[in-house]
Amino acid sequence: MKVHVQSVNFTADQKLIDFIHKKMNKLDQFYDRIIDGEVFLKVDNNHTKQNKITEVKLNIPGHDLVVKKQCKSFEEATDLSAQALRRQLRKHKGKVKALAS
């Protein structure tokens, strides 16, 4: 699966980008028809500690799955986003199987 990582108003280091690719590529195990994914990394300008935002958009045939998580670090937000997408993919796969039978 192709994953496009875009960091808004800052430059993400290669270690973070590799971590994101690794997490997103694991989603292929749950649904093999994923076309591609886009990951947007943003830093919110509020004064709380949880100011890192990861927004993930997965393109699958007929739908787009979107998850947005805000945490203390990009790694934590990416991890939570991957978990949420895993649940959405399982739910979508169940619906597709129900329609096919």
Taking the CB of residue 34, how many other CB atoms lie within 10 A of it? 21
pLDDT in tens, 25-59: 999 998 889 999 999 999 988 777 889 999 999 99
- Are 27 and 1 within 8 A, CB to CB? yes
Secondary structure of residue 79 in the 3-state scheme = helix
Each domain of the chain, given as residue ranges in start order, spans: 2-100
Residue 24 pLDDT more than 90?
yes
User: What are residue 45's phi and psi, to 5 degrees?
Assistant: -90, 15
Structure tokens, 33: 């028809």
Res 49: pLDDT: 82
Q: For residue 46, what pLDDT is reported?
A: 78
Q: 54, 81 in Cβ contact below 8 A?
A: yes
CB count within 10 Å of CB 14 equals: 7
Q: What does residue 43 show for φ and ψ, rounded to 5 degrees? A: -115, 120
Task: Work out the average pLDDT over 12-20.
Answer: 95
* Domain 2-100 class in CATH: alpha beta
Strands 36-43 and 2-7: parallel
What's the mean pLDDT in 18-22? 96
Predicted pLDDT at 14 = 96
